[in-house]
């Protein structure tokens, strides 16, 4: 069974357009220096899906990504504590889902995006995944 996640990125550092430009090969999700976020990546499996969220600017889910390489040492540091996964773009979110809309939806009040706003790599529960996909105009079963 696949798990679901959310990756946050500031668009001026790494945008959805930049992620999509990497194609099927995807890109290393590097630079994470938070133990909980790192542990989330260590728990990921090939094929797990995730929301790609623009933080600071936009504050919205803009796309869907997929884990295409398991957690391995982060190439941006020699510190063995830090790992990362590789992700590839799957599809655009037809209608970006704003943080404001997530917070306004009672079905999402316990979502990590609401309760752990600073965490850059977050778990997403199945019902949260389905609801955010629905809000964004996607059928969660088709992804």
CATH code of residue 8: 3.10.590.10
DSSP annotation of 14 reads: S
CA nearest neighbour of 91 among 112, 61, 56, 60: 61
The answer to whether position 34 is within a domain reads yes
What is the pLDDT confidence band of residue 2, given thresholds at 50, 70 and 90?
confident
Q: How far apart are CA 117 and CA 28, in angstroms?
A: 22
Q: Is there a contact between 121 and 37 (Cβ–Cβ < 8 Å)? A: yes
φ, ψ for residue 62, nearest 5 deg: -115, -15
The answer to whether position 143 is within a domain reads no
> What are 4-33's pLDDT values in tens digits?
999 999 999 999 999 999 999 999 999 999
pLDDT at 9: 97
Domain that holds residue 119: 4-136
pLDDT at 59: 97
> What are 91-106's pLDDT values in tens digits?
999 999 999 999 999 9
pLDDT at 138: 98
Q: How far apart are the first and last CA of the chain?
A: 14
Rounded to two decimals, the pTM is 0.96
> What are 50-98's pLDDT values in tens digits?
999 999 999 999 999 999 999 999 999 999 999 999 999 999 999 999 9
The answer to whether position 141 is within a domain reads no
Structural domain count of the chain: 1
Instruction: Record the tokens describing residue 17, joined without a space.
Output: 């357009």
The answer to whether position 142 is within a domain reads no
Locate all alpha helices (DSSP H) within 1-143, ordered by sequence: 16-21, 35-42, 99-104, 112-115, 126-135
pLDDT at 64: 98
DSSP count for the chain of H helices, then E strands: 5, 6
pLDDT at 88: 98
pLDDT at 117: 83
């Amino acid at each position: 069974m696949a798990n679901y996640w959310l990756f946050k990125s500031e668009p001026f550092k790494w945008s959805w357009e930049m992620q999509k430009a990497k194609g099927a090969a995807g890109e290393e999700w590097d630079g994470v220096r938070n133990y909980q976020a790192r542990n989330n990546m260590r728990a990921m499996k090939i094929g797990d899906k995730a929301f790609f969220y623009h933080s600071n600017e936009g504050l919205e889910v803009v796309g869907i990504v997929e884990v295409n390489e398991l957690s391995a040492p982060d190439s941006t540091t020699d510190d063995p504590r830090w790992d990362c996964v590789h992700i590839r773009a799957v599809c655009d979110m037809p209608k970006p889902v704003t943080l404001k809309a997530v917070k306004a939806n009672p079905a999402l009040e316990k979502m990590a995006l609401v309760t752990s706003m600073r965490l850059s790599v977050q778990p997403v529960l199945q019902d949260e995944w389905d609801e955010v996909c629905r809000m964004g105009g996607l059928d969660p079963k088709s992804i």
